[in-house]
Structure 1
């Protein structure tokens, strides 16, 4: 669904960037996106110390620890207040967020990142391959870059690489570099405990393909085909018990779970759905690479 929205969005964005819109403001976040990206959704506990605090479709995850919290993804610029409310609704202090992460640096996942960083004083960590894009506010993105920032540039505290470990309190997240969707897209793998067992949880960046060009014609990202191949070869091999993704629609959240559903980690164990979406992307990859 996100791919279709972005493809519809690009002509409008480019038109705006060429007109007075680009001159009128430094940050020009597109506005004709799905209303599901801003629709409120009640926060809930996924498993153990992992919580969903995003909007209806733009997933943000709170990982609570003994030494503060980690927030993964911030949605659109307008989502800062929504995420703060959701975190506090769950009974946690927003100011206790110490680390900020993202699956990838498009405006629908980092739109509020700098605002949240300023509000909390948290350290922002990002995959090194996305450093240029995050510093430019999206201007240098290989597909959507157009000379105008789609989000506020974010101050970086640490550049991440494949297999790096992010530690806070009693929690560790393993960084998995999954490039293609953006040059620095990444997933995170972590062990999560509740009263009954320990789960291995994947916060996945599903590598959807947003360019309409054949890969050999994507001159702004010469290694795109090789990066997608690496990601699509690697992701099916990951072992996990539970998985979620950067968009609720990618892991069928609203089909599996209704609001106010009691705590049930078993809702998020559908590996078949994970493998199915990767196979669908592989088919599209095969068409793009020729």
Structure 2
């Protein structure tokens, strides 16, 4: 089976009431992962890009969820591939957006550099935040409560989420794990190292992150430890925008 068809284009159940609904294998090649928590008031963690929004709607529909059913989007951070689809979702649903204060301005202004939109050659539709995510917050998410962990490094306002599920404690790391590094998008290596150390001080058994296929990774704590050891060992100044092609 080819890489392009390795995963079927639909929602993927990760745990009871917890689904992967967006990502490069589910909605659009440029999309980051997004997750749905079902229940009386469904919520999303991230929502993917504007390019992938039609496929996100399709995947939600496969679970019997309409855009107008979504009550909130909790943003791991304010980047194009994670959040540029929100303006379209809000227009259909009235969903509320929650983001960390340190990424709020770029989301509300659509800053092309801080949102990483320049990497895709697309605009970031500005979106007003309805609330702010803070360290230690406990957010309702269907049958679960998500603990907010501030994990700056990829961006100043990056957050991760931790919750207890039947398979074991689950970490949604966002781009705190294996995210791209560039000063234009607000990356800071010292902050990133401290954030990974913070995560390693917590207990979790499974994880998913911003650019993982739609699955939960086991032996998660050891994998975060490996990422911590690798951080900063290789920086590529030739990283090219996704919408451009090189001739060689």
TM-score (normalised: structure 1): 0.67
User: If each structure's helix is expressed as a fraction of its own residues, which one has the higher value?
Assistant: 1
Aligned: 1:174 with 2:147: yes
Q: Where does 1:252-271 land on structure 2 (aligned, <5 Å)? A: 253=213, 268-271=217-220
Shift of 1:274: 3.4
CA RMSD, Structure 1 to Structure 2 (Å): 3.0
**CA offset digits 1:245-266 (Å, max 9, x no partner):** 1112xxxx37xx6xxxxxxxxx
* 1:166 aligned counterpart, secondary structure: strand
Shift of 1:209: 4.3
Q: Which residue of 2 aligns with 1:288?
A: none
**Match for residue 237 of structure 1 among 186, 190, 201:** 201
Residues 209, 281 of structure 1: 8 Å contact kept: no
CA distance in 2 between partners of 1:43 and 1:220 (Å): 30
For structure 2, which runs of at least 5 residues remain unmatched after alignment?
26-30, 236-248
Residues 145, 163 of structure 2: 8 Å contact kept: yes
Q: Which runs of 4+ in 1 moved over 6 A?
A: 142-146
**Match for residue 61 of structure 1 among 11, 35, 55:** 35
Residues 190, 201 of structure 1: 8 Å contact kept: yes
Number of residue-to-residue matches in the alignment: 221
Q: Where does 1:68-217 land on structure 2 (aligned, <5 Å)? A: 68-139=41-112, 141=114, 150-168=123-141, 170-192=143-165, 197=166, 199-207=168-176, 208-211=179-182
TM-score (normalised: structure 2): 0.77
For structure 1, which runs of at least 5 residues remain unmatched after alignment?
1-34, 212-217, 258-266, 286-290
Residues 54, 83 of structure 1: 8 Å contact kept: yes
- The structure that has the greater radius of gyration is 1
